[in-house]
Amino acid sequence: MKPVYLDHHATTPLDEEVLEAMMPYLTTEFGNASSSTHDYGRRARAAVEKGREEVAALIGAERSDEIILTSGATESDNLAIKGLALQRTDHSGHIITIAIEHKAILDTAHFLEKQGFSLSFVPIDRYGLVDLDALRSLIRPDTFLITIQAANSEIGTIQPIDEIGAIAREHNILFHTDAVQALGKMEINVVRDHIDMLSISGHKIYGPKGVGALYVRKGVRLQPIFHGGGHEMGMRSGTLNVAGVVGLGKAAFIAARDLESESARLTGLRERLRAGIESRIDLVQLNGHPTRRLANNLNFSFSFVEGESLMLGCRGFALSSGSACTSASLQSSYVLRALQIPDALAHSSIRFGLGKSNTAEQIDTLLDLLVKNVKRLREMSPLYDMAREGIDIESFSWGAHDHHNH
């Protein structure tokens, strides 16, 4: 069997239409988009502006000059958060976020905390959903930024960004969202949802790696974090990756065009996989919200099974586990820990990231492999035998029976 890719949260393959659109700008159309004195430069500039317009259209931005082109979402997150903070001449103020953000948000926020800014985390429930009343209660007179992701890459939980945006707007606080995982899976409209800044990455929507964008609502002022030639309306100096921007634009166009049909298809595959796991394997737990989740995301803990071992057993399928290898230790996912999921269950989790190339036949093959390998691995676990005999094992019991209550 051909290898099956099921890790679309990590990255996505380049769409053939995107590659086709990029090819001229990787070969004959090599002009510098910042140089408009000759035809090469003018054609490159026109291609960049088209890409910018396609990105703006995907998120419902009113003007294409609200799109700042970057190297990807990490840079976009840094520009949004640092750029806003460094505008404050006294280098103080209060930022609100959540503990399950991407590291590009968390590490940037912690960096600013060391510079003298204050940082608060909104409590989340067991599904990773923000507590809106708690968010309101955290707001202070010096709160200048709320940054909360549109959807989580590990557990798929979708945040109520329209309500968060409304709360921010009501208190005259700027709202930034990292929408990297959500774009192409759900409709986002920056005007309707009261979003002031939004981060985008090309390689998560079947575009190229190394290119992204930051939407900045007109009137929002940021301090640049790159200095040089004053490119990108003075917000981001550096020669533009023309082929990358063309690819980002084409990927955004396709994401908008296919949003409805592809989301419905992915939801069908996701539910096929979920139903198969829950009906054929006992002692499993769904991580993340049961209904408010990305169309392409499932995250399950398989009690009494080590996630990495289960992945190895599902040979031919590219999956991701809830453990992160570091040189010093094997640590469970900080996202799952923030949901108060015990380490034993976090280590037994697998993330399934569905995408355009996946089929019902692949899902059925994967289910057979999961059933076979969970059985094999549990047969080697003395704890599983104890649980089957009715002996309560505290570190496992929370997840062992809970998914039936969803």
CA torsion sign for 56, 203, 320, 314 is positive
Name the 3-class secondary structure at 144.
Answer: strand
Please check whether residue 262 is in contact with residue 356, taking contact to mean a CB–CB distance below 8 angstroms.
Answer: yes
CA angle 220, 80, 77 (to 5 degrees): 155
Our answer to whether residue 325 is catalytic in this structure is yes
Unique residue bearing structure tokens 């790696």: 209
**Integer Cα distance of 329 and 13 in angstroms:** 31
Please check whether residue 323 is in contact with residue 308, taking contact to mean a CB–CB distance below 8 angstroms.
Answer: yes
H-run or E-run covering 301: strand 297-302
**Integer Cα distance of 254 and 17 in angstroms:** 9
Q: What is the chain's Cα-based Rg?
A: 22
Residue from 10, 191, 264, 325 carrying the catalytic annotation: 325
Longest CA–CA span in the chain (Å) reads 79
Tokens of 177: 């969202």
Name the 3-class secondary structure at 350.
Answer: strand
Tokens of 372: 């076979």
Residues composing the chain: 406
- The DSSP bridge pattern shows strands 349-353 and 297-302 to be antiparallel
Which 8-state DSSP code applies to residue 394? H
Please check whether residue 241 is in contact with residue 207, taking contact to mean a CB–CB distance below 8 angstroms.
Answer: no
Active site residues: 325
